């Protein structure tokens, strides 16, 4: 990625360093401006590092130091990451949404020596930095007017010489989502980042003609790689929406492709989100009047590509989205540990309920249980984009690999007749053991979501003295359905109704035997439910 920025500025032609990399808050920032800011930042570090004023020594002067970056999605965030890399540091993106205790946990765990943030959060972050013993630096605002020549001169001044020596060095620590336990720090090198962005650029055909609408958090790989690093590698531009907003997204698509008018220059071409975003976008669409629906759907239709991932895309959501926008969502499978490894094709059939085939360069296989060989087993992955290690967890790192060097994902899956992978869920939380059967919670969730009353749903196996586990469905009801039933003063749904309805669709042993109706599901920043924790607390209540 650094090579891209370097090339953009040293190509000399102002056209490439002037190319817009980031749009945020109505402003545009070019590749040249970002690199110029990044260089300024990397010099800042060196001045204060270790309390002494050091001479700026160019690339590598902060080799290996962990540098925390906490800022809203912005040009400053990107400059912070690049600046860290220019000085040889390891970028650790942190979430603004973390409560202080969690921020401190991550900062202490990765032993952050410098914390970078922006003006708008400087007071809070200064205090937090002090508490964890880290230095604090402000990321100076990226100016949207620096000329390309300035950046290119700066580059030459500072002997920005990378020569490939650093490629195996750590570049990034991303914490896992913490869906199954405490988040683990995943260490990526420049090499693993490099191979991943190339893979994604090739698979999804990102080009300089693309403009990505970005509304994902930047402390997880979906927002970082799929929607930011890979597009930047391809010289696309990325537009940050300050936060996920259903009306904001629909509006931005409508603005891109006005009815009866030419598409705008900065028209959005690619969108990627987690399944719950699409659920919310569908709800938003349904609440519009007819005219607004027409202009929204026709605009959405004109994007080049829409993708989903981070958790299972329920079939009903996929089908509804297709009927509204004409887009068959491209679903793919990824993990912090290898970023993306399996994907439905850009061209070719995107099969609902599957995540597609291994990306170019990736080898995947299913490791079946010794005693039942029905094709179901743990998905194992070998990829040039595999992480180096879990930060400070050498034992866990070792245990995560098979003897022949495959990473064990902890997800169960199978391969269908066309070679497409089907994710059945986490070994530890989604695979329920009911009587003698092993059931996939994801499959049951996907079916229950087809019920008109069910807006959201989470299935898990609660401890049961007779069957080992009992299929338990937690549902959130559709607002309309709730209102209707309130008028009739009935519960919004009963177990008998739900299982009666589902009995033509699911084998008898897969039918829910317990039903809980909640106002919302406890989801983390990536829209996922920590089932292990939920199971523990529900089991304890019994
Ligand atoms: P932790 O490792 O801390 O428990 P996490 O596994 O949720 O958290 P991530 O690395 O962000 O952290 O998420 C990877 C997981 O997300 C995968 O192991 C898989 O379970 C799930 N996942 C990603 N994409 C899909 C998909 N398309 N369908 C189903 N599950 C998916
Ligand atoms: Mg995980």
Q: Does pLDDT of 81 surpass 70?
A: yes
Atom 29 of ligand 1, nearest CA residue? 312
Q: Tell me how far the alpha carbon of residue 335 lies from the centroid of ligand 2, in angstroms.
A: 6
Best residue among 188, 225, 310 to mutate for probing ligand 1's pocket (most ligand atoms within 8 Å of CB) is 310
Pocket of ligand 1 (CB under 6 A): 176-181, 183-184, 220, 309-312, 331, 333-336, 355, 409, 411, 423, 426, 526, 528
Chain-centroid distance of CA 352 in Å reads: 20
- Tens of pLDDT, residue by residue over 390-437, are 999 999 999 999 999 999 999 999 999 999 999 998 887 898 988 878
* The predicted structure's pLDDT at residue 372: 67
Q: In whole angstroms, what is the distance from residue 360 CA to residue 379 CA?
A: 17
List all residues 6 or more positions away from 53 whose beta carbon is below 8 Å from its beta carbon: 47
Atom 16 of ligand 1, nearest CA residue? 310
Q: In whole angstroms, what is the distance from residue 347 CA to residue 202 CA?
A: 12
Q: What pTM value is reported for the model? A: 0.88
> Is ipTM strictly over 0.90?
yes
* The predicted structure's pLDDT at residue 51: 45
- Beta strand 377-382 with 170-175 is unpaired
- pLDDT band of 56, cuts 50, 70, 90: very low
Looking at 3-17, 189-203, 285-299, 525-539, which range is the least confident one? 3-17
DSSP state letter for 527: S
Atom 11 of ligand 1, nearest CA residue? 177
| Residues around ligand 2, an ion, CB closer than 5 A | 176
Looking at 86-100, 264-278, 333-347, 388-402, which range is the least confident one? 86-100
- Tens of pLDDT, residue by residue over 124-179, are 999 999 999 999 999 999 987 544 455 555 555 444 455 556 788 899 999 998 88
Please list the alpha-helical segments (H only) found in 163-305: 190-204, 221, 230-233, 246-256, 275-286, 290-301
Which atom of ligand 1 lies nearest, measured to the CA of 222?
11
Q: Tell me how far the alpha carbon of residue 83 lies from the centroid of ligand 2, in angstroms.
A: 29
Q: Does pLDDT of 55 surpass 50?
A: no
Q: Cα(first)–Cα(last) distance of the chain, in Å?
A: 52
Residue of higher predicted confidence among 542 and 321: 321
Helices 315-325 + 290-301 axis angle, to 10: 100
Q: Does pLDDT of 53 surpass 50?
A: no
Looking at 65-69, 167-171, 295-299, 343-347, which range is the least confident one? 167-171
Q: In whole angstroms, what is the distance from residue 206 CA to residue 236 CA?
A: 7
Q: Are 213 and 264 in contact (CB under 8 A)?
A: no
């Amino acid at each position: 990625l650094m090579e891209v920025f370097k090339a953009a500025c040293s190509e000399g032609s102002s056209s490439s360093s002037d190319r817009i990399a980031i749009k945020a808050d109505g402003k545009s920032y070019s590749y040249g401006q970002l690199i110029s800011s990044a260089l300024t930042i990397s010099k800042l570090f060196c001045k204060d590092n270790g309390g002494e004023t050091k001479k700026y020594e160019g690339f590598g002067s902060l080799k290996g130091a962990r540098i925390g970056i906490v800022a809203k999605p912005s040009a400053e965030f990107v400059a912070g990451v690049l600046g860290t890399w220019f000085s040889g540091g390891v970028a650790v993106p942190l979430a603004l949404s973390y409560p202080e205790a969690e921020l401190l946990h991550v900062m202490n765990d990765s032993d952050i020596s410098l914390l970078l943030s922006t003006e708008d959060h400087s007071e809070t972050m200064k205090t937090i930095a002090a508490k964890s013993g880290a230095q604090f630096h402000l990321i100076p605002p990226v100016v949207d007017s620096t000329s390309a020549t300035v950046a290119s001169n700066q580059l030459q001044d500072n002997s920005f010489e990378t020569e490939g020596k650093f490629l195996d060095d750590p570049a990034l620590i991303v914490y896992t989502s913490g869906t199954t336990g405490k988040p683990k720090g995943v260490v990526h090198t420049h090499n693993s980042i490099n191979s991943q962005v190339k893979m994604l650029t090739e698979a999804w055909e990102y080009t300089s003609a693309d403009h990505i609408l970005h509304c994902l958090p930047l402390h997880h790989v979906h927002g970082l790689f799929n929607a930011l690093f890979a597009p930047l590698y391809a010289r696309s531009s990325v537009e940050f929406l300050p936060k996920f907003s259903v009306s904001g997204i629909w509006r931005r698509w409508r603005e891109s492709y006005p009815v009866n008018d030419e598409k705008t220059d900065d028209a959005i071409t690619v969108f990627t989100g987690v399944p719950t975003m699409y659920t919310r976008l569908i709800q938003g669409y349904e609440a519009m009047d007819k005219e607004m629906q027409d202009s929204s759907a026709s605009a959405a239709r004109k994007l080049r590509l829409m993708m989903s991932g981070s958790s299972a895309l329920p079939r009903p959501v996929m089908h509804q989205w297709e009927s509204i926008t004409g887009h068959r969502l491209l679903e793919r499978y990824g993990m912090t540990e290898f970023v993306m490894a399996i994907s439905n094709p850009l061209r070719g059939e995107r099969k609902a309920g599957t995540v597609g085939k291994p990306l170019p360069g990736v080898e995947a296989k299913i490791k079946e249980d010794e005693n039942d060989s029905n094709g179901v087993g743990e998905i194992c992955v070998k990829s040039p984009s595999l992480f180096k290690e879990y930060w400070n967890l050498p034992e866990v790192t070792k245990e995560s690999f098979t003897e022949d060097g495959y990473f064990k994902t902890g997800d169960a899956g199978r391969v269908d007749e066309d070679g497409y992978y089907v994710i059945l869920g986490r070994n530890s939380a989604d695979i329920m053991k009911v009587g003698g059967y092993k059931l996939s919670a994801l499959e049951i969730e996907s079916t229950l979501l087809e019920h008109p009353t069910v807006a959201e749903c989470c299935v898990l196996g609660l401890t049961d003295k007779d069957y080992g586990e009992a299929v338990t469905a937690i549902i959130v009801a559709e607002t309309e359905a709730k209102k209707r039933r309130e008028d009739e003063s009935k519960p919004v749904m009963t177990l008998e109704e739900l299982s009666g309805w589902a009995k033509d669709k699911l084998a008898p042993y897969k039918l829910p035997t317990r039903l809980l109706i909640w106002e919302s599901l406890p989801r983390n920043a990536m829209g996922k439910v920590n089932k292990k924790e939920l199971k523990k607390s529900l089991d304890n209540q019994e």
